Structure 1
Amino acid sequence: MAMIRLRLRGVLLALALLLAATAVVPVLLLGEVAEEDDGGVAPAPPFNSSRVKAVSWQPRIFVYSGFLSDAECDHLVKLAKKKIQRSMVADNDSGKSVMSEVRTSSGMFLNKRQDLVVRRIEERIAAWTFLPEENAENIQILRYEHGQKYEPHFDYFHDKVNQARGGHRYATVLMYISTVHKGGETVFPNAKGWESQHKDDTFSECAQKGLAVKPVKGDAVLFFSLHADGVPDPRSLHGSCPVIQGEKWSAPKWIHVRSYENPQAMDEDAVEGCTDRSEHCAQWAAAGECGKNPVYMVGAEGSVGQCRKSCRVCGS
């Protein structure tokens, strides 16, 4: 009987210690959640490759249905309305931002990792594109009202001023944060075979002149401005058709061939020697990315490769 009492006492003591320990856990977890409060903004569902559709290979264009949740879209619009102003374009010769009738929208830039919602979206973009966050510019929010447009243009640069910071824009993720009832399509006039795309009368006249993607709230378009070898792709010419009915809100994210956040450090590293700039380089190299994605992995003229060591091109 004494032995049973001792065992029972031991069990009760262990249970008391367990309850005491677990009683602290909810407090700690609640503290962490409070620091990362997203204001109740529901994220989009986890990445699902079945939601991604290739709409062109020349240039490479992909559409992700439901990349953002409705709540995330509304959150981005709310942030933008505080600071939105007339959009600018980069002058081809000087590289300076100037006002132009080529682009008649209004816009603003968010801060990187501005809040939990923005950070979550930036991480999702990096996961989809396999391109590091440091290579990307800040998310821009654009508003196109009735009749406003952006004439066809390239996202890669013609001037050396902008190329000096991060090199050419390699890829663009264009997120739609509102649905446009008519007009406002993203059109690619030089896309190969665009004439075969079926279009009904819901497409605008502008959209009839190239491969067109309708702006649907939550969807995102990923397209590449450079070929895999780093050469600018003239087929990536694209524009925003005039809005006919409704209002268009979109959020482009431009991603460069090398670090946009710290371009000077990248140049200094290149002089020092051949290194890997990501802990995932060995894994990517083993999966064949050195050949599939040479601009990012190995580099090209004016572009420092991110995984030169793992791709075994040191000294070349």
Structure 2
Amino acid sequence: MYSTVKIGSLSVVFLPLKDEVVKGIEARVAAWTFLPPENGEAMQILHYENGQKYEPHYDYFHDKANQELGGHRVATVLMYLSNVEKGGETVFPDSEAKEIQPKDDTWSDCAKKGYAVKPRKGDALLFFSLHPNATTDQNSLHGSCPVIEGEKWSATKWIHVRNFDKPVRVSKGGCVDENENCPQWAASGECQKNPLYMVGSKEASGYCRKSCNIC
């Protein structure tokens, strides 16, 4: 069953995790991000009509209450489901790369204010809201520019530091791996790239301590 809500003037549909198509997408997202499916929220579909936008915001949380279920949102995957004739770009106003990105008149004025990505059907954008040391990344501020011509359809997948289905994680303890993919991830350098999940922090032990050779 699909759940539809309104966020401001936007129409948002939450997709059920048990849907076979959704499960296939979830698996591809997990392989791309090296973050397990159980760390993700339900995928949501957003529909932007002419003039609609999403103001710049952070995906990580500013309060402890929202972090109790899965911790911070560490990664976001935006999937573009339609082409937009003009506008509708995803913009990062504080990105350090905004000064070196060339832009012509095909970009909206909103997009010219930061580093931007045009929505193209079939493309996906991955960005992280936390640094490798688990601190929040202020440069991850992002928004959706107003649609000027056409309409925009997109899918959003938010992924957390921990399992999003369980408020409290019960660690197995000891020198063990808690995910069967840990050896593969460690071999590809994820112990250094994603230490919060792989190794852990003072607050919680990581899921791949054995493969990361820290115990």
- Say whether the fold is shared (TM-score over 0.5): yes
In 2, are the aligned partners of 1:104 and 1:149 still within 8 Å (CA)?
no
Q: What residue is the counterpart of 1:297 in the other structure?
A: 198
Candidates 78, 103, 107, aligned match of 2:12:
107
Cα distance, 1:312 vs. partner? 3.5
- Cα distance change, pair 150–303 in 1 and its aligned pair in 2 (3 A): farther
> Would you say 1:160 and 2:61 are equivalent positions?
no
Deviations 1:15-49 (A, max 9, x none): xxxxxxxxxxxxxxxxxxxxxxxxxxxxxxxxxxx
More helix by share: 1
In 2, are the aligned partners of 1:257 and 1:296 still within 8 Å (CA)?
yes
- Give the TM-score normalised by structure 2: 0.92
Q: Secondary structure at the match of 2:35?
A: coil
Cα distance in 2 between the residues matched to 1:144 and 1:153: 17
Q: Which has the higher contact order (CA 8 A, sep 6+)?
A: 2
In 2, are the aligned partners of 1:104 and 1:150 still within 8 Å (CA)?
no
Cα distance in 1 between the residues matched to 2:122 and 2:81: 6
Deviations 1:186-219 (A, max 9, x none): 0000111312211111111111100111111111
In 2, are the aligned partners of 1:167 and 1:302 still within 8 Å (CA)?
no
- Cα distance change, pair 155–303 in 1 and its aligned pair in 2 (3 A): farther
Q: Secondary structure at the match of 2:96?
A: coil
Candidates 95, 109, 114, aligned match of 1:205:
109
In 2, are the aligned partners of 1:258 and 1:303 still within 8 Å (CA)?
no
In 1, are the aligned partners of 2:89 and 2:117 still within 8 Å (CA)?
yes
Q: What residue is the counterpart of 1:243 in the other structure?
A: 147
Q: 1:108-127 to 2 correspondence within 5 Å?
A: 108-114=13-19, 116-127=20-31
Cα distance, 1:118 vs. partner? 1.1
CA-atom RMSD in angstroms:
1.9
Q: What residue is the counterpart of 2:130 in the other structure?
A: 226
Identity of aligned residues (%): 61
Cα distance in 1 between the residues matched to 2:211 and 2:188: 11
Q: 1:2-151 to 2 correspondence within 5 Å?
A: 83-87=3-7, 104-114=9-19, 116-151=20-55
The number of residues matched between the two structures is: 215
Cα distance in 1 between the residues matched to 2:50 and 2:187: 50
